[in-house]
Amino acid sequence: GAVRYLDTGDLPFPKDIKEFHLSKLKERAKKENTEVDIDLAIHDVTDIARSIIN
């Protein structure tokens, strides 16, 4: 799994990196029939944390 950036804030990420992360979030949202939102991003972080704990 991977954690994707939903919003990079003022961090100086190049445009192509921001677009890559957004496109990956859109792919996942489509696959899961959901929206690209904070809940999707939180789910990524939670999944990674669970995999580390278990």
Kindly give the confidence (pLDDT) of every residue in the chain, 54 residues in length, as a single tens digit, with 9 standing for 90 and above.
788 999 999 999 999 999 999 999 999 999 999 999 999 999 888 988 998 998
Please report whether residue 10 resides in a domain. no
Please report whether residue 27 resides in a domain. yes
Please report whether residue 39 resides in a domain. yes
Please report whether residue 29 resides in a domain. yes
The SS3 call for residue 19 is helix
Cα–Cα separations (whole angstroms), residue 53 to 3, 17, 21: 16, 29, 25
Q: What is the pLDDT of residue 44?
A: 84
Rounded CA separation 32/10 (Å): 29
Please report whether residue 30 resides in a domain. yes
Q: What is the pLDDT of residue 2?
A: 82
The total number of structural domains in the chain stands at 1
Q: What is the pLDDT of residue 31?
A: 95
Supply the range of the domain harboring residue 22: 15-53
Please report whether residue 43 resides in a domain. yes
Please report whether residue 5 resides in a domain. no
With a CB cutoff of 8 Å and minimum separation 6, the contacts of 45 are: 3
